[in-house]
Structure formats: structure tokens, C-alpha cells
């Protein structure tokens, strides 16, 4: 079966003439190689029926040739610009409608398409195109586990290293180096290392501020390996943990464990969030809830399924998502515990294995 | 003067009602903090006249509050989606036309704007908006120099380490770790470590292939530090260099030196490429030319000014660009030498200082 078959079928089911892919997670899944396109458009067009075609920067032609692409390639030089290649594509494959990845394609490519194909209906089919990545294959799960293992080895090292007086930025540097030493190909995202009141921001940035006794110290980090992303959070305490801190920690842990307990194929993303968030809501810390339970994880660090109330998407075997309840007290501290979970037929398997018991450093 | 003044003036000169910024290089320049928006739209609207406004994911409100943003903020929750926030923005600031960053904004935000503001004319003003970043301040040049220094220290270490039989991937891992050890906050881009025939691809990917005696070994790498990117290339040889390799190297070096010689404020980007590429064209290796001379460098690793024939943009003091002539023989080897150059009133200053003489390892 042609590697384009599922994209052709998708174009048919969407009622569009073709699907377009630009470099990014869907492109690399299909072509086994990514490109960094920066200011240079590169585009695959996969029609519902008929030959595929591509627009490729001349500079990338030799790399692109390795992909074994079967269709016509319209290349363009920096000096002359890409409008001519888009016009040539339009003459080669007249299109009335085109499904694109709305969260990947940038506006300048959208404009180039709209100019070259007058009247073209451009449909944002992010959900449907990326939906083809929802169920991970065994090989993809193995890649995820590889990324997670690298990430967990790195944190284990760093926790042994942390000393009172080290800054968030220094600890972050150690964590990043440890991920690469253990084999990361890239960072899945810029890690969060946030102590004290900074831990109360769900997307904090490390500061040049030393960690202090009593601080919560939150790590949200992950390596990329084999094209797949780890995304894990652990929160530890420095020197000692107050009674309040321990109670908050225990509440978040119970919510996280609830996620493990309820997850199985056949329930919805809503059901998981409802169960996990329900634990937080039933606690005395309900006013510290700031986020939904999680998001899908794979070639991108945020992808479907989004684990939140109202999302009636059914969980299926092979889906992977984060289970990351947290409680955040602005001006105080935050706790989040995040695992990466694989949905199985009759339950789930945690791909993350890093211990979750209350840990007090030093 | 308000920090929005130059964007307001830009909206006026473009004849649009407002400029919109999304997280990325222009956003961080203005607000001194970036956000990773993934699937969550975050948007600033700066009208030609009148109050600014923003759309912010609820999750990011506390981080956003630290920016001291002066206008109305329309937040939205994951559970309810962002359409309501865009609609509220449209009621608050009716817009007929809007300039956006076409290489930064993604299509799903474009669609959300088009839906909330019926008939909105969305203008791709990438060139003009990012054009405000063309002339680097002294502080920005210092940040660039910091990123370059980290990168150069890292390569120096790695070149001392390389042994015949190490794979490109292993060497790449060493280089990445060395950059973080020397203080990189991120990678400016995934580095290229390419030996032998792989060095002939301008955008190669490291392979699990050992370096061999006689190989050209090309490094194209750079750290990010203080928000700014280094982008440097050096090509060395392993064990020995053939006569052909030495002749190619010398040709590329002469082209690179020509770039240093001719660059000054008042000439055009075309003039620089013409002089540099002219050296390559005058050689017996003219059929190995594959790329233009370079690109601007700053908060992004590829930005204006693009140093290529046909680009009549005048060079001004404070502009920074790469001077990276190369010769590429498919199936053979490639050589590229890339410096980062600051345009000054009467010439230029190379921010890169790594030696460029022919170097044969081991």
C-alpha cells in the first residue's frame, strides 16, 4: 500500500482535493526525515487521487532526493523567490480546496497558496491530519520509552547534585547537560526548573535565584529521542517540607494515581479529567486548580488527545497522554506530578517510572 | 516614549489599523519574555492609535501579568476554547486591516482572526515588522558575542577530542554538551556535524557513520544565549587533506575573506554576495556553488538581511549577517566557512574569532 494512502483517504473524507504537509511532525512521520524550513517554503501536496507533488527549496534538493518522493518536484532558488514554484504547482495540479495543518503551517505559506491558486478554499484540518498520529505503533512507543528513560536518568543525577544555594538556572543547566549525556537528540522543550513561588507558575522560566530550605522545587522536563518527546514533572522539596506542602503533595499524588486507575480504552478524555480534577476539587485546595489534566504526547510535546472536561474523544489503545494534575498557589508554591501514559485495551501503562513518593533533598 | 511607539508608527506607514504580534522574536524583543504557545493562541494587538489589547491563555495569565502590559486582556480557558476571546477582542477593537508576522503566525491563528473579524484584511508584514530588529543595539551585539563565545569554546574542545572511528552522531553529542557546559541557554539550531560525502549537503543531518582518514568534517553550529543566536561553520580534515581538498578550502577561504573586505555600511546585500560568489565563480570549482552568501542573524538564526544577488537592501551600521561561502561536490565533499559579521560605519567587525587556517586533525 502506498505511503500516501491514508492521506488520500483523508482528503476524500474531508471532501477536499488534496492534503498539504509542511515540515514538522506529520511530514517526518510520512517521509522519515524533517527539514528546517525557516524562511524557505517546502510543501508536499497529496491529492485525493492522482500524482503527488512538492515544492522544495533548491538548496534542499539533494537531501530531498533521498526521500524517494514519487511525484513532480518544483524547486526554487533564493535569488528568484518561491512564487514561481507555487505558480508552476498550480498549473500542474489545479486545486479548488486544500486541507492544511493549521498549527504547523505559517501564514506566509498560506498566502503563497492563496496567491497561486485563486479562489482556493484552505481548510484547517489540523485535528484530522495530526489525528493520524493518535495511535502509536509499538515502534513509536519504544521511541517514547527511550526518550523517557534518558530524561529519568538525567533527573536522578541532578537530584543527587542539588545543593542549597544553587540557582534555578544552574540546576537547569545540569539537567540539560545530563539529558544530552544520556543520549537526547534534542530537548523536547525548554525545561522548567522552578523553586518557591516560581513553582506556582504552570509555565515558569528558570531564574538566577538560589534555592532555599523549605522550597518546593519543580522539574518539568523531557528529552527528544528517535523523534519522540518525553514530558515529565516531579516536585521535590529542599531541606524540609511544611505540613501544608506535604498535604498539597499528597493531594496531587492522589489525583495523579486516580488518573492511572481510571484510564482505559473506551472512556473519554473528559472522563479522565473529570476523575483526576475531581480529586483536587474534593480537597481543601480546590482554589489552587489552574490546569486541565493533560495532553497527548508523541512527535510533538503537545498534541491530541487533550485530556479535559468537555472533550468527548474516546481513548483508544496506543494513545499516549500526560497525566499531570497540579495545585498552584500564587505567591506561595506549586506542586505538579506528571506521568506519560499509554492507553491499553483494558487499562493503561505508565511509560514513566520515576518514583513519586514525597522526596526531601539534602 | 511608549514601547509600542515604533509598532504604531509601522501600522500607520503600512496603512493598516493595527499590528499583531504572536510569541516569537518580535514579541520577546518588545515584551522581554517569550511564551511557548503550542496549541494555545496568544496575541498582542497594537493599533495605529488607541489602547493595546491582548489574547492570553488563562493558564499564562500570571506569567503575562509580569510583563506590565497596559491594555485589556481577553483570556480563555482550554475547556471553552479561544473563539470567545477572539470575538470579545473584535467587539473591543473593531479592525478592518491587520499586519501580521507571516513567518511566525500559524494558520490556525489566522483563521481565528478571519472568523472573529469578518472581512478583515490580513497583511503579511513579516519584512516590515521583523525589520525593526535589523539594527542591533550595543546590548544586542554583546548578547550575540556571548552566544558566539560559548559556541567557539565548545568547538575548540570538540576538535581536541575527535578521533578516527567516532561517528558524526557521537561528535555532535559532544558538541551539544560542550555548548551547554559553556553556558548556552538553548541551541540556536540543531548543529550539523557532517563528514565525507555528507558534508556536501548544505543542510546535512549527522549519521551513525564513523569519520575516516581523508574526510572533510564540517561543523555548522551555534548556541543561543541571552536570546541571541550564534551561527558558525568551520570545515576541518581528518588525518590528511588531498590536494583537491586543499585547493577547495583555499578557494572558499578567499571568498570568505572577500566578504570581510567589501562589507561596509552603504553597499547593498547584493554587492556582498556578488563579491563573495564572484571569487567562487572565478575558480575552477564554480560548478560546486549551491548557496547564496548568507543571512541576517539575531534573535532568529535566519532573518533579514538576506545576502544574495538581487537584494538591493542597503547595509546599515548594526546589521549582523553570516558570511558563509561554500563549495559542495555531491558524492564528494563540501567545504563551508561561516563568520558572523557586524556592519559598521566604515567596514565590518567579525564577531566570530575562531581560526580559519586549514586544520588537519590528529
Query: What burial class does residue A312 get, using C-beta atoms within 10 Å of its C-beta: 0-12 exposed, 13-18 middle, 19+ buried?
Result: exposed
The separation between the first and the last C-alpha atoms of chain A, rounded to the nearest angstrom, is: 58
Same-domain check for residues A67 and A202: no
Q: What is the mean pLDDT of residues A61-79?
A: 93
pLDDT of B153 reads 98
B254 band by pLDDT with thresholds 50, 70 and 90: very high
Same-domain check for residues A203 and A265: yes
Instruction: Please say which residue of A131, A162, A185 terminates a domain.
Output: A131
Beta bridge partners of B336: B326
Residue A84 domain boundaries: 5-131
A311 torsion bin: left (phi>0), alpha (psi -120 to 50), beta (else): beta
Instruction: Please say which residue of B99, B131, B163 terminates a domain.
Output: B131
Proportion of chain B above pLDDT 90, given as a percent: 93
Q: What is the mean pLDDT of residues B296-309?
A: 96
* Residues of chain B neighbouring A80 (CB-CB closer than 8 A): 310
Q: Closest by alpha carbon to B188, among B219, B148, B230, B149?
A: B230
Q: What is the mean pLDDT of residues B327-341?
A: 96
Same-domain check for residues B251 and B270: yes
Residue contact B39–A186, C-beta within 8 A: no
Residue contact A291–B62, C-beta within 8 A: no
pLDDT at A273 over 90: yes
pLDDT of B132 reads 97
Instruction: Please say which residue of B131, B161, B193 terminates a domain.
Output: B131
B301 band by pLDDT with thresholds 50, 70 and 90: very high
* Residues of chain A neighbouring B33 (CB-CB closer than 8 A): 205
Proportion of chain A above pLDDT 90, given as a percent: 93
A38 band by pLDDT with thresholds 50, 70 and 90: confident
Distance CA A351, CA B215 (A): 41
Residue contact B62–A189, C-beta within 8 A: no
* Residues of chain B neighbouring A325 (CB-CB closer than 8 A): none
Which cell numbers in the block locate residue A131? 489525528
Residue contact B36–A79, C-beta within 8 A: no
Chain B: give the shortest CA distance to residue A344, in Å.
25
* Residues of chain B neighbouring A222 (CB-CB closer than 8 A): none
Q: What is the mean pLDDT of residues A9-34?
A: 97
* Residues of chain B neighbouring A203 (CB-CB closer than 8 A): 35-36, 59-60, 63
Proportion of chain B above pLDDT 70, given as a percent: 100
Question: Nearest residue of B to residue A330 by CA position?
Answer: B62
- Residue B68's alpha-carbon distances to B24, B36, B62, B343, in angstroms, are 18, 19, 11, 34
pLDDT of A1 reads 64
Residue contact A203–B36, C-beta within 8 A: yes
Q: What is the dihedral of CA B303, A23, A219, A192, to 10 degrees?
A: 20
pLDDT at B202 over 90: no
Question: Nearest residue of B to residue A207 by CA position?
Answer: B185
Residue contact B59–A204, C-beta within 8 A: no
pLDDT at A113 over 80: yes
**What value does the mean pLDDT of chain B take?**
96
pLDDT of A59 reads 87
Question: Nearest residue of A to residue B63 by CA position?
Answer: A201
Rounded (10°) angle between helices A107-116 and A83-92 = 50
- Residue B295's alpha-carbon distances to B121, B129, B303, B308, B325, in angstroms, are 30, 17, 6, 8, 11
Q: Any residues with CB less than 8 A from the CB of B197 and at least 6 apart, and which?
A: B330, B331, B332, B333
Instruction: Give the CATH number, domain containing residue B173.
Output: 3.90.230.10
Mutate to test the interface with B, among A19, A57, A78 (most CBs of B within 10 A): A78
Same-domain check for residues B175 and B255: yes
Same-domain check for residues A221 and A302: yes
Question: Nearest residue of B to residue A305 by CA position?
Answer: B39
Same-domain check for residues A108 and A38: yes
Query: What burial class does residue B1 get, using C-beta atoms within 10 Å of its C-beta: 0-12 exposed, 13-18 middle, 19+ buried?
Result: exposed
Q: Closest by alpha carbon to B100, among B8, B10, B19?
A: B19
Same-domain check for residues B157 and B302: yes
* Residues of chain B neighbouring A309 (CB-CB closer than 8 A): 79
Distance CA A194, CA A202 (A): 10
* Residues of chain A neighbouring B189 (CB-CB closer than 8 A): 36
* Residues of chain B neighbouring A79 (CB-CB closer than 8 A): 292, 308-310
In this complex, which of B79, B101, B124 lies closest to A309 when CB atoms are compared? B79
Residue contact B309–A63, C-beta within 8 A: no
Distance CA B321, CA B297 (A): 5
Same-domain check for residues B156 and B299: yes
pLDDT at B163 over 70: yes
Residue contact B124–A106, C-beta within 8 A: no
Chain A: give the shortest CA distance to residue B102, in Å.
5
Same-domain check for residues B115 and B179: no
Number of domains in chain B: 2
Spatial contact of B96 and B114, defined as CB atoms under 8 Å apart: no
pLDDT of B1 reads 64
Distance CA B217, CA B195 (A): 4
Which cell numbers in the block locate residue B28? 520577546
In this complex, which of B60, B63, B103 lies closest to A39 when CB atoms are compared? B103
* Residues of chain B neighbouring A274 (CB-CB closer than 8 A): none
Q: Before B110, cis peptide (omega within 30)? A: no
pLDDT at B355 over 70: yes
Same-domain check for residues B123 and B149: no
* Residues of chain A neighbouring B300 (CB-CB closer than 8 A): 38
pLDDT at A200 over 80: yes
Mutate to test the interface with A, among B35, B63, B180, B191 (most CBs of A within 10 A): B180
How many Cβ atoms from other residues are within 10 Å of residue B231's Cβ?
28
**What value does the mean pLDDT of chain A take?**
96
Chain B: give the shortest CA distance to residue A73, in Å.
18
Residue contact B106–A105, C-beta within 8 A: yes
In this complex, which of B59, B181, B190 lies closest to A202 when CB atoms are compared? B59
How many CA atoms within 13 Å lie on the side-chain side of A9? 7
For chain B, the three-class secondary structure string (H helix, E strand, C coil) is: CCCCHHHHHHHHHHCCCEEEECCCHHHHHHHCCCCCCCCCCCEEEEECCCCCEEEEEHHHHHHHHCCCCCCEEEEECCCCCCHHHHHHHHHHCCCCEEEECCCCCEHHHHHHHHHHCCCCEEEECHHHHHHCCCCCCHHHHHHHHHHHHHHHHHHHHHHHHCCCCCEHHHHHHHHHHHHHHCCCCEECCCCEEEEHHHHHCCCCCCCCCECCCCCEEEEEECEEECCEECCEEEEEEECCCCHHHHHHHHHHHHHHHHHHHHCCCCCEHHHHHHHHHHHHHCCCCHHHCCCCCEEECCCCCCEEEEECCCCCCECCCCCEEEECCEEECCCCCEEECEEEEEEECCEEEECCCCCCCCCEEC
In this complex, which of A78, A103, A295 lies closest to B108 when CB atoms are compared? A103
Which cell numbers in the block locate residue A305? 488527545
Residue contact B330–A291, C-beta within 8 A: no
In this complex, which of A33, A80, A103 lies closest to B39 when CB atoms are compared? A103
pLDDT at B56 over 80: yes
Residue contact A35–B203, C-beta within 8 A: yes
Question: Nearest residue of B to residue A180 by CA position?
Answer: B177
Question: Nearest residue of B to residue A179 by CA position?
Answer: B177
Same-domain check for residues B180 and B113: no
* Residues of chain A neighbouring B203 (CB-CB closer than 8 A): 35-36, 59-60, 63
* Residues of chain B neighbouring A229 (CB-CB closer than 8 A): none
Mutate to test the interface with B, among A33, A59, A106 (most CBs of B within 10 A): A106
In this complex, which of A58, A173, A180 lies closest to B173 when CB atoms are compared? A180
Instruction: Give the CATH number, domain containing residue A56.
Output: 3.40.350.10
B178 band by pLDDT with thresholds 50, 70 and 90: very high
What's the pLDDT tens digit per position in A284-338? 999 999 999 999 999 999 999 999 999 999 999 999 999 999 999 989 999 999 9
pLDDT of A37 reads 76
Of A164-168, A202-206, B353-357, minimum mean pLDDT range: A202-206
pLDDT of B130 reads 96
Question: Nearest residue of B to residue A310 by CA position?
Answer: B79
Pairing of strands A97-100, A121-124: parallel
Pairing of strands A223-225, A326-328: unpaired
Distance CA B256, CA B307 (A): 13
pLDDT at B287 over 80: yes
Residue contact B187–A183, C-beta within 8 A: no
Residue contact A107–B105, C-beta within 8 A: yes
Q: Any residues with CB less than 8 A from the CB of A328 and at least 6 apart, and which?
A: A200, A201, A202, A288, A289, A290, A291, A334
A79 band by pLDDT with thresholds 50, 70 and 90: confident
Chain B: give the shortest CA distance to residue A102, in Å.
5
Q: What is the mean pLDDT of residues A264-292?
A: 97
pLDDT of A362 reads 84
pLDDT at B220 over 80: yes
pLDDT of B36 reads 83
Distance CA B202, CA A60 (A): 8
Same-domain check for residues B98 and B198: no
Query: What burial class does residue B197 get, using C-beta atoms within 10 Å of its C-beta: 0-12 exposed, 13-18 middle, 19+ buried?
Result: middle
Amino acid at each position: 500500500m502506498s505511503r500516501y494512502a491514508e492521506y488520500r483517504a483523508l482528503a476524500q473524507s474531508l471532501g477536499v482535493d488534496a492534503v498539504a504537509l509542511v515540515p514538522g511532525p506529520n511530514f517526518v512521520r510520512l517521509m522519515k526525515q524533517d527539514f528546517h524550513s525557516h524562511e524557505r517554503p517546502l510543501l508536499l501536496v497529496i491529492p485525493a487521487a492522482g500524482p503527488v507533488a512538492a515544492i522544495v527549496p533548491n538548496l534542499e534538493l539533494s537531501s530531498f532526493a533521498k526521500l524517494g518522493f514519487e511525484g513532480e518536484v518544483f524547486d526554487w532558488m533564493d535569488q528568484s523567490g518561491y512564487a514561481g514554484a507555487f505558480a508552476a504547482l498550480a498549473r500542474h495540479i489545479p486545486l479548488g480546496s486544500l486541507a492544511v495543518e493549521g498549527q504547523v503551517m505559517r501564514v506566509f505559506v498560506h498566502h503563497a497558496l492563496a496567491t497561486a491558486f485563486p479562489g482556493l478554499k484552505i481548510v484547517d484540518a489540523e485535528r484530522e491530519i495530526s489525528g493520524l498520529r493518535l495511535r502509536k505503533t509499538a515502534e513509536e512507543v519504544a521511541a517514547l520509552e527511550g526518550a523517557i528513560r534518558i530524561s529519568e536518568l538525567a533527573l536522578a543525577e541532578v537530584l543527587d547534585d542539588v545543593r542549597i544555594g544553587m540557582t534555578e538556572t544552574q540546576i537547569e543547566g545540569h539537567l540539560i547537560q545530563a539529558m544530552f549525556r544520556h543520549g537526547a537528540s534534542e530537548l523536547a522543550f525548554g525545561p522548567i526548573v522552578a523553586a518557591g513561588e516560581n513553582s506556582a507558575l504552570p509555565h515558569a522560566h528558570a531564574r538566577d535565584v538560589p534555592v532555599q530550605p523549605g522550597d518546593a522545587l519543580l522539574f518539568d522536563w523531557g528529552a527528544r529521542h528517535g523523534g519522540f518527546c518525553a514530558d515529565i514533572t516531579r516536585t521535590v522539596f529542599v531541606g524540609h517540607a511544611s505540613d501544608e506542602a506535604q498535604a498539597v503533595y499528597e493531594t496531587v499524588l492522589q489525583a495523579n494515581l486516580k488518573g492511572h486507575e481510571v484510564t482505559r480504552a473506551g472512556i473519554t478524555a473528559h472522563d479522565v479529567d473529570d476523575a483526576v480534577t475531581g480529586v483536587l476539587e474534593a480537597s481543601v485546595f480546590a482554589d489552587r486548580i489552574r490546569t486541565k489534566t493533560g495532553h497527548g504526547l508523541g512527535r510533538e510535546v503537545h498534541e491530541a488527545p487533550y485530556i479535559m472536561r468537555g472533550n468527548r474523544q474516546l481513548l483508544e489503545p496506543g494513545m499516549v497522554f500526560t497525566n499531570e494534575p497540579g495545585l498552584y498557589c500564587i505567591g506561595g508554591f506549586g506542586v505538579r506530578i506528571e506521568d506519560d501514559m499509554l492507553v491499553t485495551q483494558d487499562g493503561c501503562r505508565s511509560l514513566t517510572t520515576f518514583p513519586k513518593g514525597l522526596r526531601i533533598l539534602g
